[in-house]
Amino acid sequence: MKKNLIIIVIIFAGITSCKKFLTEENLSGITAENYYTNAAGYESLINSCYASLRGIYSPNPSLFEWGTDIITRGEIELVSGQANEVPAIQLNEYRSLTSDNVPIDTFFTVAYRGIQRCNTAINRANSIPDLAENTKNRRLAEVRFIRAYFYYLLVENFGNVPIVQEEISSPVTHFAPNTEQEVYDFMIAELNTALPNLEANPASTEPGRATQGAARHLLALLYLTRGYKSFGGSSDFEQAAQLAEELMGSSYYALLPTFAEVFQPGNDLNREIILAVQYGAQPGYNGNGQNILFGWRYWREKGFDEVTGLKDYNRRISNFMPTQFLYTLYNTSKDARYDATFLSQLYATKADGAIKAGDLRYYFPYPDQPFTAADSIALKTANPNVEIIRFDKWKQAFNNVGGLEKFPMINKFYDPNAGLPYNNEFAYASTKDVFLFRLAETYLIAAEAYFKLGQLDKAAEKLNAIRQRAAKPGQNMNISAADVNIDFILDERAREQAGEYKRWLDLKRTQRLGRAFEYNTLTKMANPGGVVDKYYLRPIPQSVIDRDTEGYPQNTGY
């Protein structure tokens, strides 16, 4: 079976309530003290640590996408019939961002809940009598990896945060935040401790488990990020490059021949994927929304509805809307990633008056290629029910932006097995995994590290490895060292990783958040003075400050 990390109901005394993941069992009367007493119970605890990552990427990926140069907000899904735009406006436009923002509060809570599960697993490991020593060491290494990843997400979003290593079984009323430098030292030490005990060969363990490859990738990312900080330096970029080289040279991973193959339905376990959050077709369990969030509501238009459109296009909403800038980054005559990323033609999925099922209904011409009046006439003659929507209308239909909110949807996450969302706006249904780390990103990390070291030829070499894979047959997309700068690297990351829940962290790391204030129309309109320093951190959730009896400090400016 593809999905081997099967999660059951876990009770965490004093820290979380009952939580259903994939299957429901009657575990009344079960507590941490009487359940995590043997190897089977302990394995379910380890699996729940992995499952905690779903809380970051299933309902709440907005902190990764809104307010960037390549993704903005579109029409937001209604909640119980009411508009829920305020959190989106705050995160995308920044200016009105406050400490009671719900996605920020949820993100902070979910991350620390995941950390507490990891702490429980670490604390309980030595008390499991039938747990083999090598298994114990492997599982401890895995949860140390997961815990370090949660801390990476926290420290980059919030700055100084508490390092909590203890299993908490009674109320704690005060946590003192550690400095960013202390958090980075902790994460790197944890990963270096974990690395030798992780499985080297991903084929020798269940899909979805942390491996040495995942640890090297995360370490490379941590060193790369630390290198930009006041307490970092060139040695961090050297470490990032070295770790990336080790991973790129491994026989266990490889770039797939084409970009499209990476995201092909049913191909989640391909050799380019270093680590993914596991999903699957489990009845009653909500999947993730990566397949629907980057679209628009085509199913409200003639020739479509939610049911008939589901198989061909999935149900789409426009919570995350590509900026016009994203489309301009591609040379569509050369770069195969454009067609593999975006959906430029939609065909009717049902008969509707003069429209027949299968009729071409929407056509979005390439933004960088001529599409003449004669081309338009020819297309409409052959397809009388088609609407041609040109680049100048690929933007919001509100706030006097002047668009139609119809645009080429990000389609690389399309899932033919996804059902309709369940009973609320967060109950998404994609069965595809969410890729956390893939080898193409390792190449991008190496390129950025070499750029920061002034080794532009090596940076170009790593970028060209990705660009050669992306080139259409007969096309050459190679660049030279003279083409390499941080903005080119960020552009390449956008072309390669659009929609993969990376962008805000990339802009924050490289201190290029100002790109959002230039290329994201709504962000720019709300902030005529441009980016300000405080936007590089989120506010500490007000709920955290209110519950702390000794005063938890708020980030500057909030």
User: Domains, the chain, ranges and CATH?
Assistant: 32-177+526-557 (1.25.40.390), 293-423 (no CATH)
Q: pTM of the full predicted structure?
A: 0.94
Q: Which residues pair with 346 in a beta bridge?
A: 362
d(CA 194, CA 216): 10
The stretches in the chain having pLDDT less than 70 are 1-32, 34, 59-60, 77-83, 282-286, 422-427
C-alpha 391/C-alpha 322 separation (Å) is 12
d(C-alpha 516, C-alpha 167), whole Å: 40
Structure tokens at 259: 């970009």
Q: What is the pLDDT of residues 108-164, one digit of tens each?
A: 999 999 999 999 999 999 999 999 999 999 999 999 999 999 999 999 999 999 999
Q: What is the pLDDT of residue 4?
A: 38
Calculate the alpha carbon distances from 447 to 68, 70, 155, 248 in Å. Answer: 21, 21, 24, 12
Q: Are 343 and 314 in contact (CB under 8 A)?
A: no
State residue 428's pLDDT score. 77
Q: Give the C-alpha separation, 282 to 383, whole Å.
A: 40
How far is residue 37 from each of residues 8, 23, 115, 135, measured CA to CA in Å?
A: 16, 21, 20, 15
The pLDDT score that the predictor gives to residue 450 is 99
The pLDDT score that the predictor gives to residue 15 is 33
